A = this chain, B = another copy of it.
């Protein structure tokens, strides 16, 4: 029995998922083959155990008044000591955690958070808001630098209720600590859904999504959680900042847009009113094959500019299609889908397919017709566990992070990075990244590596390409040398993305890892200074998540982290 103040099912502290959950035998065999194919000669040994970590004692004592919500058990400290990036998993394999949180707090109300802020102000501690801890960019790591006397990771899991549902406006007031499945379960009896399904859906929270501008289910129109935020309530060290519930407004710069994406540097997102959807009843889908990437891009551009708003418009480039077993290395594949709670979608998909045909796309019309015929009834039980290719892809999408639990100790680097770019510069970016990051991978690992791309979201003015690469980190499974290889690759990727004009992140946030050669280059310097000016009002002591997004001038925290 682990010791913890957490209420939730025990997590795998060294990897993805729950402690009692592993790879299926088929998955295990699949990833073992994959590792071998990449040249890994090492078989993962014993998984890490909590007692193998040497954690420094908390630097401050817990005051009596807060003791009931503070934990310093190894499980709590280690599960809050890293996010879920590749570097995090490697360091967990190394049983290495030089900067664990001194304490992990489990507040149950805003008053508890205020008390923590008072304590932090008095003790010189930093506070790190912690939702599900699935950051892949060093967003929750207590490596805060500066002169902080201690770090408290503040886990909002007890603040996870759906407080109120407004069926008329299709909105709900939801606490920041609610996990995806928790809030969807509470909305379901009302026939409503937030329909925000990042890959981390099971393990990430509403507050985390808002703080990091998470990307979601819809490939177009409603791409980020931003679009579903009706109002936000944030508890800052200077007090509560709560915007008014409004469907739209033109009254000054949007307060919500200052809080959305603030990554814990301004305060805690304790609640938000979120715009919801009716549960979809109608669907239409197609898999369209194109002779090459250029034709596929032209089609996707036409579809994205036609105001048809597909819910899925996932273009797999030739490499990605091949990895997924649906391509020959030349063809590109577009997975196109529409959904609606209101109307049949034949005219929508028919027009999108006309546009695809204009650019050499071909598809199985019978499958399209089946997708149309199969919709219009009650939604299937789990909503998302659909049959067929879409369901299969979805399952693999949700399972992919689990594969790392095996691949990382086997010495394989699997990582992703994503961006967005206007159409006019896409081809240059796409070729440039494949060339430059491809060359970096080759130089660093000594062999050609798999680097593939898909579009996760599309806009009228450009796509959001998402790159995945597999590289051998260390044939012998030497974690330290693998980590140093990953560092080089990560910096090369940051540099390539921003120098070709893309955004350093489309939906994985900035954290610490996307700052060097990334956010620090992309974001206007004056904007970062202005944001620091706003921050100094909301958090004058600079206690909130120091080093993430921007430096914390008040306390001298500069970006550290695994790339520092």
Q: Residues of A with Cβ closer than 8 Å to B?
A: 166, 168-171, 212-215, 221, 223-224, 230, 236, 238-255, 257-263, 266, 275, 278, 301, 305-309, 340-343, 347-348, 351, 355, 420-424, 457, 459-464, 501-510, 514, 519, 522-524, 526-527, 529-538, 549
Q: Which residues of B are found within 8 Å of A261, using beta-carbon distances? A: 250-254
**What are the residues of chain B within 8 A of A236 when measuring CB–CB?**
526
Q: From residue A281, how far is it (CB to closest CB) to chain B in Å?
A: 12
Q: Are A170 and B305 in contact (CB under 8 A)?
A: yes
A245 touches B422 (CB 8 A): yes
Residue from B242, B306, B457 in contact with A248 in the complex, judged by beta carbons closer than 8 Å: B457
Most buried by B among A212, A251, A342: A251
Q: Which of B245, B252, B422 contacts A246 (CB 8 A)?
A: B422
| Complex alpha-carbon distance, A535 and B214, angstroms | 28
A336 to chain B, nearest CB (A): 15
In the complex the two chains form, what is the Cα distance from A510 to B249 in whole Å?
11
Residue of B nearest to A518 (CB): B251
Could you write out 10 A-B pairs with CB less than 8 Å apart? Answer: A168-B423, A248-B457, A248-B459, A249-B420, A251-B514, A252-B519, A253-B258, A307-B342, A347-B348, A530-B538
- Please tell me if the beta carbons of B530 and A534 are within 8 angstroms of each other in the complex: yes
**Interchain CB contact under 8 A, B247 and A464:** yes
Q: Which of A342, A509, A532 has the most CB atoms of chain B within a 10 A radius of its CB? A: A342
A258/B424 contact (C-beta < 8 A), A214-B250, A247-B463, A460-B170 known: no
Known contacts A242-B524, A526-B239, A532-B537; decide if A262 and B251 are in contact (CB<8 Å).
no
Contact, CB under 8 Å: B257 / A254: yes
Are A424 and B508 in touch, CB under 8 angstroms?
no
Q: A241-B527, A524-B243, A526-B241 are in contact. Are A250 and B169 (CB under 8 A)?
A: no
Q: Given contacts A169-B423, A422-B230, A527-B255, is CB(A250)–CB(B537) below 8 Å?
A: no
Instruction: Evaluate whether A250 and B509 lie within 8 angstroms (CB atoms) in the complex, with A170-B305, A524-B241 already known.
Output: yes
Cβ contact of A257, chosen from B257, B307, B524, B549, cutoff 8 A: B257
A299 to chain B, nearest CB (A): 13
Give the residue of B223, B245, B247, B504 whose beta carbon is less than 8 angstroms from that of A251.
Answer: B504
Contact between B250 and A459, CB atoms less than 8 A apart: no
User: Which residue from chain B places its CB closest to the CB of A255 in the assembled complex?
Assistant: B527
Residues of B within 8 A of A258 (CB): 253, 257-258, 527, 530-531
B246:A420 contact, CB within 8 angstroms: yes
A interface, by DSSP: helix, strand, loop or mixed?
loop
- Determine the chain B residues whose CB is within 8 A of the CB of A168 once the complex forms: 301, 422-424
- CB-CB nearest 5 A-B residue pairs: A247-B462, A257-B257, A247-B459, A213-B250, A533-B537
When C-beta atoms are compared, the residue in chain B nearest to A354 turns out to be: B343
Output the least CB separation between A420 and chain B (Å): 5
Q: Is the CB of B523 within 8 A of A255?
A: yes
CB distance from A364 to the nearest CB of B (A): 23
Extra contacts, 20 of them, besides A252-B261, A252-B262 (Cβ < 8 A), are A166-B424, A168-B422, A170-B461, A215-B250, A242-B524, A244-B503, A246-B422, A247-B421, A247-B462, A248-B506, A250-B261, A251-B261, A252-B531, A307-B340, A309-B309, A342-B355, A343-B347, A347-B347, A530-B534, A533-B536
Given A306-B343, A460-B275, A534-B531, CB of A253 within 8 Å of CB of B245? no
**Across the two chains, which residue of chain B brings its CB closest to A305?**
B170
> Would B247 and A461 count as touching, CB distance under 8 A?
yes
Chain B residues near A243 (CB, 8 Å)? 524, 527
Q: How far is the CA of A214 from the CA of B249 in the complex (A)?
A: 10
Give the residue of B221, B244, B308, B309 whose beta carbon is less than 8 angstroms from that of A501.
B244
CB contacts (< 8 Å) of A241 on chain B: these are: 524, 526-527, 530
Q: Complex: how many Å from CA A168 to CA B221?
A: 19
Report whether B252 and A510 are in contact in the complex, using a CB–CB cutoff of 8 Å.
yes
Report how far A224 CA is from B168 CA in the complex, Å. 24
Question: Are A247 and B530 neighbours in the complex by a CB distance under 8 Å?
Answer: no
Q: Which of A523, A526, A532 has the most CB of B within 10 A?
A: A526
Contact of A250 among B248, B503, B536 (CB under 8 A): B503
Nearest-CB distance from A236 to chain B (Å)?
Answer: 7
Chain B residue numbers with a CB within 8 Å of A309 are 307, 309
Measured between alpha carbons, how far is A269 from B257 in the docked complex, in Å? Answer: 19
Residues on B with beta carbons closer than 8 Å to the beta carbon of A549: 252
Q: Which residues on B sit within 8 Å (CB–CB) of A535?
A: 530, 533
Residue of B with least CB distance to A463: B247
Report the Cα distance A523→B301, complex, angstroms.
Answer: 39
Query: Are A249 and B501 in contact, CB atoms less than 8 angstroms apart?
Result: no
| A526 pairs with B262, CB closer than 8 A | no
How many Å from the CB of A332 to the closest CB on chain B?
18
| Nearest CB of chain B from residue A356's CB, rounded to whole Å | 13
Residues of the B chain whose Cβ atoms lie less than 8 Å from the Cβ of A244: 501, 503, 522
A301: chain B residues within 8 A (beta carbon): 168
